[in-house]
């Protein structure tokens, strides 16, 4: 593809005919992945374009976004990525959704919560904007007509869990590039404490999470929760006490060590993390209430 590949791909979005060509070829691929080709006449009919002149120029401009072979035309893998971006709704700046009631309470004021999508972000918030958590999810995830299992809150929880897992392993959830996971001081002075984040130098991804979210995917936490019929993959992390903002305990500042105490029905699982969000030690202990019950 001539020029910068990503720039050429997004130029497609400025022409409705090019977009419809890609969508028609993507539909053909979905219907028959082993034989996704449409000949010229079939493709023009699928797009609904009678004028050859107005059809040929946009078709020729698609370059590597499609495959032009003896069997006809087919969408390329890069073309499918463009169609996927369009289908996600992320490129529509005017898309709004909500508010929808969400479980749990605000970390800061204890008020009830709601999910709302606007200005390209899903926000979990009470009535105070400064208390909001932002989630990098596509509008399609929230679309009530989407063919997806579970309700929208569970889908948001699953998406958040996946993002945390990728961040902990140094993968940008947005572009799949490399990020450096870090536990750093909270940038908002009035909130204090620390937060878990990973800034991508490639795409600018920089959403953060409470420190407790960094241990959601740790095997010991997953196992301990599973023993109590808690699926951390589908449970909204903001409803878990150890994922609340400021729940972590600072063990040392230089080097930075923070401890997250996961309290579960008579047992506390304590995980200590370094500045790179790596768990450096774990400890299990019975809670005081559990010990009292055994002696009574």
Q: Which of 238, 257, 264, 262 is nearest to 110 (CA)?
A: 238
pLDDT band at 148 (very low <50, low <70, confident <90, very high): low
Question: What confidence score (pLDDT) does residue 294 get?
Answer: 44
Domain ranges in the chain are: 5-88, 97-242
pLDDT, tens only, 61-116: 888 899 998 999 999 998 998 999 888 988 888 899 989 999 999 988 999 999 99
pLDDT at 290 over 60: no
pLDDT at 229 over 60: yes
Rounded CA separation 39/2 (Å): 25
Q: How far is CA 224 from CA 89, 113, 150, 239, in A?
A: 37, 27, 24, 17
* Least confident interval from 7-16, 124-133, 285-294: 285-294
Whole-prediction pTM: 0.82
pLDDT, tens only, 185-195: 987 766 668 99
Q: How many CB atoms lie within 10 A of CB 188?
A: 11
Cα atoms in the Cβ-side hemisphere of radius 13 Å centred on 36: 20
pLDDT at 134 over 50: yes
- Which residue has 């002696």 as its token pair? 295
5-88: CATH topology = Arc Repressor Mutant, subunit A (1.10.10)
Q: Which of 59, 50, 56 is nearest to 24 (CA)?
A: 59
The 3 state secondary structure assigned to the chain is CCCCHHHHHHHHHHCHHHHHHHHHHHHHHHHCCCCCCECHHHHHHHHCCCCHHHHHHHHHCCHHHEEEECCEEEECHHHHHHHHHHHHCCCCCCCCEEEEEEEEECCCCCCEEEEEEECCEEEEECCCHHHCEEECCCHHHHCCCCCCCCCHHHHHHHHHHHHHHHHHCCECCCCCCECCCEEEECCCCCCCCEEEECCCCCCCCCCEEEHHHHHCCCHHHHHHHHHCCCCCCCCCHHHCHHHCCCCCEEEEECCEEEEEEEEECCEEEEEEECCCCCEEEEEEEECHHHHHHHHC
Judge contact between 93 and 117, C-beta under 8 A: no
Token output for 184? 């750093």
Average pLDDT over residues 130-155: 80
pLDDT at 248 over 80: yes
């Amino acid at each position: 593809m001539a020029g910068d590949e990503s720039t050429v791909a997004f130029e497609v979005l400025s022409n409705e005919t090019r977009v419809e060509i890609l969508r028609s070829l993507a539909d053909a691929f979905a219907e028959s992945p082993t034989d996704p080709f449409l000949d010229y006449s079939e493709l023009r009919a699928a797009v609904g374009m009678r004028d050859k002149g107005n059809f040929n120029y946009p078709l020729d401009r698609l370059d590597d976004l499609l495959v032009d072979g003896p069997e006809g035309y087919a969408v390329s893998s890069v073309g499918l990525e463009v169609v996927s971006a369009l289908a996600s709704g992320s490129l529509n700046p005017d898309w709004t959704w909500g508010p929808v009631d969400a479980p749990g309470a605000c970390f800061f004021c204890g008020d009830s919560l709601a999910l709302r999508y606007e200005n390209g972000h899903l926000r979990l918030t009470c009535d105070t904007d400064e208390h909001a958590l932002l989630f990098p999810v596509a509008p399609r995830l929230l679309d009530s007509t989407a063919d997806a299992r579970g309700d929208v809150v569970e889908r948001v929880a699953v998406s958040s869990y996946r993002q945390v897992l990728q961040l902990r392993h140094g993968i940008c959830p947005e572009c799949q590039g490399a990020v450096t996971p870090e536990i750093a001081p909270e940038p908002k002075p009035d909130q204090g404490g620390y937060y878990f984040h990973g800034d991508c130098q490639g795409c600018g991804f920089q959403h953060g999470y409470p420190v407790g979210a960094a241990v959601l995917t740790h095997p010991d936490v997953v196992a301990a929760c599973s023993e109590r019929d808690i699926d951390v993959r589908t449970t909204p992390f903001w409803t878990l006490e150890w994922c609340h903002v400021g729940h972590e305990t600072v063990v040392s500042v230089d080097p930075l060590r923070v401890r997250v105490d996961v309290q579960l029905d008579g047992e506390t699982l304590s995980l200590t993390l370094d500045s790179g969000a790596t768990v450096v030690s774990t400890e299990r202990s019975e809670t005081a209430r559990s010990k009292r019950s055994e002696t009574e």
